[in-house]
């Protein structure tokens, strides 16, 4: 189910039911901090789908075009895309999984803790992961937010020795999205 789910999202030909919520404007931000330099970038081009048709757990998938991340310095953006993420070769990052405790969420406007388990793929390297986040209902929409760390070594991202002290091995990532009923 997960692969079909993500393919529908990525293809743009999403056929939805009353149990699916989507966005094409989610926000993703990352931050790398070292004593020598801080590096951060953001995008508002995350596409995501939340499938509530299962009842006990919710299917959740997102994809982010790597070239959509923008940096304060153009040279950082160039190095990120050409040297580290190889964005032309590996154009997107994805997550496919489930939000395990979905059935336990109260149907109110309060933020509630959720746990998503699945596969996060970056630089064409999949990695099983568990992400703690929060969700809340806002009318017919769901808002989801999470913060998690990505290790460059887990995704075969090679950092040249020349700049190892400038790029953290652990990157802080935040995701925020409002998914609307379709």
For the chain, 182 residues long, give each residue's pLDDT as a single digit of tens.
445 444 444 444 444 455 899 999 999 999 999 999 999 999 999 999 999 987 778 999 999 999 999 999 999 999 999 999 999 999 999 999 999 889 888 878 999 999 999 999 999 999 999 999 999 999 999 999 999 999 999 999 988 888 888 889 999 999 999 999 98
pLDDT at position 18 is 54
Question: Cβ(55)–Cβ(31) under 8 Å?
Answer: no
Domain edges within the chain: 2-8+22-181
55 backbone dihedrals φ, ψ, rounded to 5°? 95, -65
| Predicted local distance difference test score (pLDDT) of residue 166 | 87
User: Which 3 state secondary structure label does DSSP give 110?
Assistant: coil
Architecture of domain 2-8+22-181: Beta Barrel (2.40)
| 3-state DSSP assignment of residue 123 | coil
* This prediction's pTM: 0.87
Cα 129 from Cα 72, distance rounded (Å): 29
Instruction: Determine whether 122 is exposed, middle or buried from the number of CB atoms within 10 Å of its CB (0-12, 13-18, 19+).
Output: buried
Contact indicator for 115, 131 with CB cutoff of 8 Å: yes
Tokens of residue 99, six digits = 């939000």
How many CB atoms sit inside 10 A of residue 139's CB?
A: 8
74: alpha, beta or left, given left = phi > 0 and alpha = psi -120 to 50? alpha
- Output the pLDDT for position 69: 98
Q: Report the alpha-carbon distance of residue 175 to residue 25 in Å, rounded.
A: 11
33 strand-pairing partners: 38
How many Å apart are CA 147 and CA 170, to the nearest integer?
Answer: 13
């Amino acid at each position: 189910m997960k692969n079909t789910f993500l393919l529908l999202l990525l293809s743009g030909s999403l056929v939805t039911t009353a149990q699916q919520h989507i966005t094409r404007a989610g926000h993703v931000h990352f931050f790398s901090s070292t004593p020598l330099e801080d590096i951060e970038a953001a995008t508002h081009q995350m596409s995501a789908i939340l499938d509530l048709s299962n009842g006990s757990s919710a299917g959740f998938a997102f994809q982010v075009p790597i070239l959509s991340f923008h940096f304060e310095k153009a040279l950082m953006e160039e190095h990120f895309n050409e040297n580290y993420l190889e964005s032309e070769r590996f154009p997107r990052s994805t997550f496919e999984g489930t939000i395990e405790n979905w059935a336990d969420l109260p149907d109110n406007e309060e933020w509630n803790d959720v746990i998503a388990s699945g596969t996060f793929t970056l630089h064409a390297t999949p990695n099983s992961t568990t992400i703690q986040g929060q969700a809340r209902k806002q009318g017919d929409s769901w808002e989801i937010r999470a913060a998690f760390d990505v290790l460059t070594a887990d995704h075969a991202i090679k950092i040249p020795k020349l700049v190892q002290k400038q790029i953290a091995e652990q990157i802080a990532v935040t995701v925020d999205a409002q998914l609307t009923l379709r």
